[in-house]
Homo-oligomer: A and B are copies of this chain.
Amino acid sequence: MHIAIIGAAGMVGRKLTQRLAAEGTLGETAISEMTLVDVIKADAPTGFEGKVTSVASDFSLAGEAEKLVATRPDTIFHLAAIVSAEAEDDFDKGYRINLDGTRALFDAIRVAHMEDGYQPRVVFTSSIAVFGKPLPYPIPDDFHTTPLTSYGTQKAIGELLLSDYSRRGFFDGIGIRLPTICIRPGKPNKAASGFFSSILREPLVGQEAVLPVDESVRHWHASPRAAVGFLLHGATLDLAKVGPRRNLSMPGLSATVGEQIEALRRVAGDKAVALIKHVPDEKIIAMVDGWAPGFEADRATELGFSAETSFDEIIQAHIEDELGGSL
């Protein structure tokens, strides 16, 4: 089996690549080859015995998606995207990468399908950013997508294309609406959502973190490990069970910031919690106000997708995956 990962140099892309390399199989099928695509060359995973090709490519440029499709990957994970803040700041770049790049990939597959019946599995990462306030809690599976960012708009369009191209039989697609990923490993970044991770990640290693919002803020989370699990399940699931509605809100954990902090206290004590400094930021408070508080995710749950059910579990996954297993 030949697997392609587009956006392989990103955080989730790297974890997915490494997990596939470690397991050596997708479902019950041995992986013989991986093609890693990103705007920079992604590192090859460790411990994988098959062929690895790492390519720097931008699918919004003419002919680039066709090069990947010419190698006829059996499964394509499409994770590449300009993130929310950048797509909002740079209108052209967001539409070019997130919409035109996605459409170029889908169309290259369509052309190949017309040539020889090629019909790969396509796993597309979408986002809860396809929803915009006012939002009910929990958000039902049949709630309309009315994004309030260009990023969310581009993801919602990608979802529509994915469903139509799948209905036409050009490929067999599934769209995975990821929760906010928490605890995101690495250094603090400037994403407005960054505090959800940093108020746990930094105190776990004895460093201070800033909380810019009230503890009552409720949001929707899943660990990086759960996110990789969603993608793998999406790649192996029997899509006949999914039907024509190919885009699924993933399960996750709805929690308030206060609940996050109490989980931190249970795992790492009062000393860790004391490292969180509450410095209200009106701009972030206003943004977060429109974010999804939580989902029913009934369809995805019935289809076998699963995520953590407590922040203690999310913190434990971070300790195991990023901190060598103990504090």
Residue positions of A touching B, CB distance < 8 A: 91, 110, 132, 141-148, 150, 153, 156-157, 160-161, 163-164, 167-168, 244-245
12 contacts between A and B (CB under 8 A): A91-B110, A142-B143, A143-B144, A144-B145, A145-B160, A146-B244, A146-B245, A148-B167, A150-B164, A153-B160, A157-B161, A160-B160
Q: How long is the Cα–Cα vector from A142 to B145 in the complex, in angstroms?
A: 9
Q: Contacts A91-B168, A132-B244, A168-B91 given: A160-B147 contact, CB under 8 Å?
A: yes
List B contacts of A245 (CB < 8 A).
146
**Are A150 and B168 in contact, with the CB atoms below 8 A?**
yes
List B contacts of A153 (CB < 8 A).
160-161, 163-164
List B contacts of A147 (CB < 8 A).
160, 163-164
Indicate the member of A144, A145, A164, A167 with the most B CB atoms within 10 Å.
Answer: A164
Question: Which residue of the partner chain B has the closest CB to A91?
Answer: B168
Q: How long is the Cα–Cα vector from A132 to B247 in the complex, in angstroms?
A: 14
Question: Which residue of the partner chain B has the closest CB to A145?
Answer: B144
List B contacts of A110 (CB < 8 A).
91
Question: Could you tell me the distance in whole angstroms from the C-beta of A141 to the nearest C-beta in chain B?
Answer: 8
List B contacts of A146 (CB < 8 A).
163, 244-245
Question: Which residue of the partner chain B has the closest CB to A152?
Answer: B164
Question: Could you tell me the distance in whole angstroms from the C-beta of A319 to the nearest C-beta in chain B?
Answer: 38
List B contacts of A150 (CB < 8 A).
164, 168
List B contacts of A148 (CB < 8 A).
167, 244
Question: Could you tell me the distance in whole angstroms from the C-beta of A295 to the nearest C-beta in chain B?
Answer: 13
Question: Which residue of the partner chain B has the closest CB to A164?
Answer: B153
List B contacts of A160 (CB < 8 A).
145, 147, 153, 156-157, 160
Question: Could you tell me the distance in whole angstroms from the C-beta of A94 to the nearest C-beta in chain B?
Answer: 10
List B contacts of A167 (CB < 8 A).
148
Question: Could you tell me the distance in whole angstroms from the C-beta of A117 to the nearest C-beta in chain B?
Answer: 16
Beyond A148-B244, A150-B164, 10 additional contacts (C-beta under 8 Å) are A91-B110, A91-B168, A132-B244, A142-B143, A146-B245, A147-B164, A153-B160, A156-B160, A157-B157, A157-B161
